[in-house]
């Protein structure tokens, strides 16, 4: 047996028509004798066989069989091709296919010799010199065996140097079996590892004319080709360990940091659930952390100094509860309450709005050029803040909106919308008019149109308060006194809101008595939010801050009715006889005194 180290051997057999059947049988025997002398196996010598004529046929590759029995069976089943002699094509196939790692050849860095044994009986019909050179340069050692009619020049062109050791010419097929025994000795050669001091640190592998060193598993051969170093399997970064990689003689293992355990995939780590041990004693919740755990309380509770028990938190002092009047803490939560006489709204935070009575409210807003677009948006937000105070419905409070500049435009009348959301949406869609400031013209429009039954104002006989709110930022370009007076005489309670350069004298002329309760002013548009609260307290007099004022439910209604009837009578008398003017003036003065007396009782 040949004891030389592992080889990758491919037989390249000529099966052209010049090889007669009985001659091909001697070639079968030649291959089987050579294989019989080799130590074959996946980690020893591997063998492949191809035959060629005008084409190339793979009989079995280097990865197909690893026992002599299987190889001999495959060799005995070969059917010769019996065509031309394309030896160059066969060498090309051996280089590009048979000796690839895909077909079972070991990688070149393992230094396992690649040997091609070409057996032919004639002259090649294609060129062999160039392709044979390429094969030799690719690391393939070529033995050229010619039989009988073979061309010596072609054999020498194919074989590896030295030619005297790689070129053989056998006179006849009958002598090839005897030649096979000599070729075995040539192929096996001397065990070079035994013949000289190889210097390999771990093991020496003999080849037909030399040797090479190999390292034990878990080590790599150093550049000197003899000594070995342990392989750090963690160094290439492909280990996939989530936490730590531990190298061990060519292999590695994954390890987790303290407080974690290794998962079944042997790579990833999961934190140890210390809470699952059942000994944490937390009253509410246990939270695992690396190397331990801690206790946590549910929302509304505070962890006590013992680190385990919990006690309810005064949430009213710790959160933005949003209660309009008062927040009351409960265990783990809170609730909002309202003053006596008011009810909590559906949102659980707000108290009942200005809903004790019905109101027809028309807001007249200044859209002049001096307001400017960005401030006009703030005015619209101011209007919507007032709408938020009201309980809007067809039978409750109705809201209308008028904008004025050099002209007057009804944005929507009292009977247009029936919910706060509809009104607020319509307000935000109002377009800025710009131009002049005709406040008197706007008051005239409000009196003659906005509070008409045609635009949704309820009849005076229904005793529904009519409220007009005028918003302006500057001096009017027309007279306001006439229509401010007429508005109040017609029973409209007038509120005046001024911002920036608004003229106090005009605001007071617009406002109803007592003027201080119906007149508000803010230095600029960004600080006028406090005016909303002032308006709320005046339009909803039954609401105070934190308490409810107890009043006669008939007092306001009686006053409104009294005012309405008196004004109607005065207008009638004025139309009948101008001579009564002095008497009427005196009566009007007495009525104003009466109103002040009633107001003072409030």
pLDDT at residue 542 is higher than 80 = no
Domain boundary among 143, 158, 188: 188
Q: Write down the pLDDT at residue 46.
A: 94
pLDDT at position 531 is: 66
Residue 23 resides in a domain: yes
Same domain, 170 and 288: no
* Position 374 pLDDT exceeds 60: yes
User: In 97-150, which ranges are continuous DSSP H helix?
Assistant: 129-137
pTM of the complete model: 0.38
Q: Check residue 141 and give its pLDDT.
A: 92
Cβ atoms 429, 435 nearer than 8 A: no
The pLDDT of residue 111 is 86
Same domain? 306 vs 372:
no
**CATH assignment of the domain containing 532:** 3.40.50.410
592 sits in the region (left: phi over 0; alpha: psi -120 to 50; else beta) called alpha
Mean pLDDT (whole number) for 390-408: 91
- d(CA 324, CA 546) in angstroms, rounded, equals 10
In this prediction, residues 50-77 reach a mean pLDDT of: 95
pLDDT score of 550: 33
The CA angle 451-456-458, to the nearest 5 degrees, is 75
Instruction: Identify the domain boundary among 503, 520, 539.
Output: 539
Strands 46-52 and 56-60: antiparallel
**Are the CB atoms for 260 and 289 separated by under 8 Å?**
no
* Domain finish residue from 166, 188, 210: 188
Mean pLDDT, rounded, for 175-202:
71
Range of the domain at 479: 360-539
Residue 83 above 90 pLDDT? yes
Asked if 536 and 543 touch (Cβ cutoff 8 Å), the reply is yes
Report the pLDDT value the prediction gives residue 170, as an integer from 0 to 100: 80
List pLDDT tens digits, range 455-491.
999 998 888 899 999 999 889 999 999 999 999 999 9
C-beta of residue 140 within 8 angstroms of C-beta of residue 62: no
Neighbours of 8 (CB within 10 A): 22
Could you report the per-residue pLDDT of 254-279, keeping only the tens digit for each?
999 888 989 999 999 998 888 988 88
Domain contains 212: no
Q: How confident is the model at residue 280 (pLDDT cuts 50, 70, 90)?
A: confident
For residue 204, the SS3 value is strand
Least confident of 103-117, 158-172, 563-577: 563-577
Q: Are residues 175 and 66 in the same domain?
A: yes
Give the C-alpha separation, 584 to 589, whole Å: 9
pLDDT, position 529: 62
Higher pLDDT, 589 or 449: 449
Q: What pLDDT score does 486 carry? A: 94
Percent of the chain with pLDDT over 70: 81
Shared domain check, 175 and 31: yes
Q: 568 falls in which pLDDT band (50, 70, 90)?
A: low
In a domain, 78, yes or no: yes
* Count of domains observed in the chain: 3
The CATH code of the domain that includes 290 is 2.10.25.10
The answer to whether residues 126 and 48 belong to one domain is yes
What is d(CA 273, CA 280) in angstroms, rounded to the nearest whole number?
Answer: 11
What is the full DSSP assignment across 530-589?
A: HHHHHHHHHHSTTB-SSSB----TTHHHHHHHHHHHHHHHHHHHHHH-GGGHHHHHHHHH
Among residues 507, 499, 497, the alpha carbon closest in space to that of 523 is found at 499
Regarding whether 160 and 29 lie in a shared domain, the answer is yes
Q: Is residue 547 part of a domain?
A: no
pLDDT at 594: 72
Within a domain: 130: yes
* Ordered alpha helix ranges (H), 251-360: 315-318
Same domain for 168 and 90, yes or no, is yes
pLDDT tops 80 at residue 77:
yes
pLDDT at 551: 38
**Exposed, middle or buried, 203 (CB in 10 Å: 0-12/13-18/19+)?**
middle
* Residue 157, domain member (yes or no): yes
Which residues touch 579 (CB under 8 Å, ≥6 apart)? none
The more confident residue out of 573 and 101 is 101
Percent of the chain with pLDDT over 90: 41
> Which has more pLDDT, 109 or 586?
109
pLDDT tens-place string over residues 334-343 = 888 876 546 6
Tell whether the model's pLDDT for residue 357 goes beyond 60.
Answer: no
List the one residue out of 315, 320, 289 whose CA is nearest residue 302.
315
Provide the 10 A C-beta neighbour count for residue 333: 12
> Considering the domain boundaries, does residue 199 fall inside one?
no
Question: Cβ(38)–Cβ(9) under 8 Å?
Answer: yes
> Does residue 541 register a pLDDT over 50?
no
Residue 352: is its pLDDT beyond 50?
yes
**Is residue 259 in a domain?**
no
pLDDT band per the 50, 70, 90 thresholds, residue 356 = very low
d(CA 473, CA 523): 10
Q: How confident is the model at residue 588 (pLDDT cuts 50, 70, 90)?
A: low
Q: What is the pLDDT of the chain when averaged over all its residues?
A: 83
Backbone angles phi, psi at 488, to 5 degrees: -70, -35
Whether residue 188 contacts residue 3, with contact meaning beta carbons closer than 8 Å, is answered with yes
295 and 177 both lie in a single domain: no
Q: Does position 179 have pLDDT exceeding 80, yes or no? A: no
Q: Is the pLDDT of residue 573 over 60?
A: no
pLDDT digits 0-9 by tens, 204-243: 887 766 788 988 887 889 999 999 988 887 887 778 899 9
**What pLDDT score was predicted for residue 174?**
65
- Distances 349 to 165, 336, 338, 356, 586 between C-alpha atoms, Å: 105, 6, 9, 19, 51
- In this structure, are 299 and 366 located in the same domain? no
| CA distances for 287 relative to 294, 386, 425, 464, angstroms | 5, 49, 48, 62
Report the pLDDT averaged over residues 317-325.
77
């Amino acid at each position: 047996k040949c004891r030389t180290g592992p080889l990758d051997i491919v037989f390249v057999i000529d099966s052209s028509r010049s090889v007669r059947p009985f001659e091909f049988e001697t070639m079968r025997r030649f291959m089987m004798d050579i294989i019989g002398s080799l130590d074959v196996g996946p980690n020893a010598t591997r063998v492949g066989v191809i035959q060629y004529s005008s084409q190339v046929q793979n009989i079995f590759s280097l990865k197909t069989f690893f026992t002599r029995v299987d190889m001999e069976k495959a060799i005995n089943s070969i059917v010769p091709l019996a065509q031309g002699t394309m030896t160059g094509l066969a060498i090309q196939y051996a280089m590009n296919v048979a000796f690839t790692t895909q077909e079972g050849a070991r990688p070149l860095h393992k230094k396992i010799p690649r040997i091609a044994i070409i057996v032919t009986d004639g002259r090649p019909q294609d060129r062999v010199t160039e392709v044979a050179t390429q094969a030799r340069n690719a690391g393939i050692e070529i033995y050229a065996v010619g039989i009988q009619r073979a061309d010596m020049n072609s054999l020498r062109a194919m074989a590896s140097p030295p030619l005297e050791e790689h070129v053989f010419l056998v006179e006849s097929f009958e002598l090839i079996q005897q030649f096979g025994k000599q070729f075995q000795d040539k192929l096996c050669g001397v065990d070079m590892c035994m013949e000289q001091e190889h210097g390999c640190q771990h093991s020496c592998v003999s080849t037909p004319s030399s040797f090479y060193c190999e390292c034990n598993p878990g080590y790599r051969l150093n550049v000197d080709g003899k000594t070995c170093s342990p392989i750090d399997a963690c160094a290439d970064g492909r280990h996939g360990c989530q936490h730590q990689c531990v190298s061990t003689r060519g292999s590695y293992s994954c390890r987790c940091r303290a407080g974690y355990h290794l998962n079944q995939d042997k790579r990833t780590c999961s934190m140890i659930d210390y809470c699952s041990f059942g000994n944490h004693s937390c009253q509410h919740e246990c939270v695992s952390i690396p190397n331990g755990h801690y206790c946590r309380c549910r929302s509304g509770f505070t962890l006590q100094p013992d680190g385990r028990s919990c006690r309810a938190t005064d949430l009213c002092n710790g959160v933005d509860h949003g209660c309009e009047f008062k927040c009351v803490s409960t265990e783990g939560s809170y609730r909002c309450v309202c003053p006596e006489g008011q009810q909590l709204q559906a949102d659980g935070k707000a108290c009942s709005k200005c809903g004790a009575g019905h109101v027809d409210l028309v807001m007249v807003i200044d859209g002049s050029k001096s307001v400017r677009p960005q401030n006009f948006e703030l005015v619209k937000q101011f209007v919507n803040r007032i709408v938020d105070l009201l309980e809007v419905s067809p039978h409750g409070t109705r809201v209308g909106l008028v904008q004025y500049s050099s002209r007057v435009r009804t944005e929507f009348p009292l009977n247009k919308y029936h919910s706060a959301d509809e009104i607020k949406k319509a307000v935000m869609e109002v377009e800025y008019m710009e131009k002049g400031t005709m406040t008197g013209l706007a008051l005239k429009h409000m009196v003659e149109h906005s509070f008409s039954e045609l635009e949704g104002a309820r009849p005076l006989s229904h005793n529904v308060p009519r409220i007009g709110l005028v918003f302006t930022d500057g001096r009017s370009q027309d007279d306001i006194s006439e229509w401010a007076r007429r508005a109040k005489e017609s029973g409209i309670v007038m509120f005046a809101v001024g911002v920036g350069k608004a003229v106090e004298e005009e605001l007071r002329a617009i406002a109803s008595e007592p003027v201080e309760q119906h007149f508000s002013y803010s230095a600029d548009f960004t600080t006028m939010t406090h005016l909303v609260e002032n308006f709320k307290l005046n339009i909803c007099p039954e609401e105070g801050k934190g308490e409810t004022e107890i009043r006669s439910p008939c007092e306001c209604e009686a006053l409104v009715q009294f005012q309405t009837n008196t004004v109607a009578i005065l207008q009638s008398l004025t139309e009948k006889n101008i001579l009564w003017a002095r008497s009427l003036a005196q009566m009007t003065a007495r009525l104003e005194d009466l109103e002040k007396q009633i107001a003072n009782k409030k």
